[in-house]
């Protein structure tokens, strides 16, 4: 049985916030005007905004869950994040969690993300000054569930170390690129020292969700304030935990075969 409405926890996934995104990320980009309206709707919902670290402590029973929590997350590290996006969040006292793809934000390094205006790794401490928590999102943004165990280990550890060097403290939280994970990938995340990992799943999280595949709702450019308001009410999506569906398993096998042939593509 899925979680009752009141126990459902929306964990939103944003990417870039800009009027002028490159085509490849446009589907997952919201305009600054729409973003501001969505943040206002989140504030008006009366939910308690928390960082992923707090949610994970709650899932583990270390601290009590605040009333009606909501979590805002930002993936990849687009250029707007340490600028207008952080300011829009700070102006409303909204904490958030940013998952950074270190290869995409480090000069001289490469990632599988197509070109886009990105922040710099050196701005990671600035995100924390704005009240954000910083998590890892691998080095090159691969589909982790299609890689060898050694490659998964390298992606998880090298990105964690790069962020820790920059921030001067431990980085405990991970976002799987595209949300893709498997039992082996989840075990590798734990072994690499992450205390949690977020997936995508297009579902609401709940106090019974799994710490190494926390469900998130991806915000697309077509989503409106009405969608956000519905999510804040615990509606508009199913709630995790629930088992992988057969199509999810089949899709993974298909992607593994395709990745072997021609490498990965962006899927959120």
Binding site for Zn ion (CB under 5 A): 75-76, 177
- Least Å distance, CB 34 to Zn ion, is 20
- Least Å distance, CB 27 to Zn ion, is 13
- Least Å distance, CB 108 to Zn ion, is 20
193 secondary structure, DSSP code: T
Burial class (CB in 10 A: 0-12, 13-18, 19+), 193: middle
Q: How far apart are CA 268 and CA 255, in angstroms?
A: 15
Comparison of 8 and 160: residue with beta carbon closer to Zn ion: 160
Comparison of 16 and 89: residue with beta carbon closer to Zn ion: 16
Closest by CA position to 214, among listed 59, 61, 63, 3: 59
Comparison of 34 and 75: residue with beta carbon closer to Zn ion: 75
- Least Å distance, CB 30 to Zn ion, is 15
Comparison of 13 and 86: residue with beta carbon closer to Zn ion: 13
**Cα separation of the two ends of the chain:** 28
Q: Are residues 263 and 112 in contact, defined by beta-carbon separation less than 8 angstroms?
A: yes
Residue nearest Zn ion (C-beta atom): 75
Burial class (CB in 10 A: 0-12, 13-18, 19+), 36: middle
41's CB contacts (< 8 A; 6+ apart) are 225, 228, 229, 232
Q: How far apart are CA 219 and CA 27, in angstroms?
A: 9
- Least Å distance, CB 246 to Zn ion, is 26
């Amino acid at each position: 049985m899925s979680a009752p409405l009141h126990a459902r926890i929306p964990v939103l996934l944003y990417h870039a916030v800009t009027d002028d995104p490159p085509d490849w990320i446009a589907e997952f980009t919201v305009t600054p005007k729409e973003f501001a309206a969505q943040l206002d709707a989140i504030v008006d919902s009366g939910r308690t905004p928390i960082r992923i670290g707090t949610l994970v402590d709650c899932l583990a029973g270390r601290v009590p869950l605040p009333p009606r929590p909501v979590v805002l997350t930002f993936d990849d590290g687009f250029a707007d994040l340490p600028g207008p996006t952080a300011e829009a969040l700070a102006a409303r006292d909204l904490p958030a969690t940013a998952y950074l793809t270190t290869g995409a934000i480090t000069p001289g390094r490469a990632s599988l993300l197509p070109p886009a205006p990105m922040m710099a790794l050196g701005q990671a401490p600035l995100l924390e000054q704005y009240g954000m928590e910083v998590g890892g999102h691998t080095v090159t943004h691969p589909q982790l569930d299609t890689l060898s165990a050694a490659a998964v280990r390298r992606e998880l550890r090298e990105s964690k170390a790069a962020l820790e060097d920059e921030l001067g403290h431990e980085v405990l939280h991970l976002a799987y690129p595209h949300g893709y994970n498997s039992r082996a990938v989840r075990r590798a995340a734990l072994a690499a020292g992450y205390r949690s990992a977020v997936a995508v799943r297009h579902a609401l999280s709940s106090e019974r969700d799994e710490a190494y595949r926390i469900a998130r709702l991806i915000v697309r450019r077509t989503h409106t304030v009405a969608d956000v308001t519905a999510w804040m009410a615990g509606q508009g999506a199913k709630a995790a935990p629930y088992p992988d569906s057969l199509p999810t398993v089949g899709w993974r096998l298909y992607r593994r075969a395709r990745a072997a042939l021609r490498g990965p593509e962006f899927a959120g």
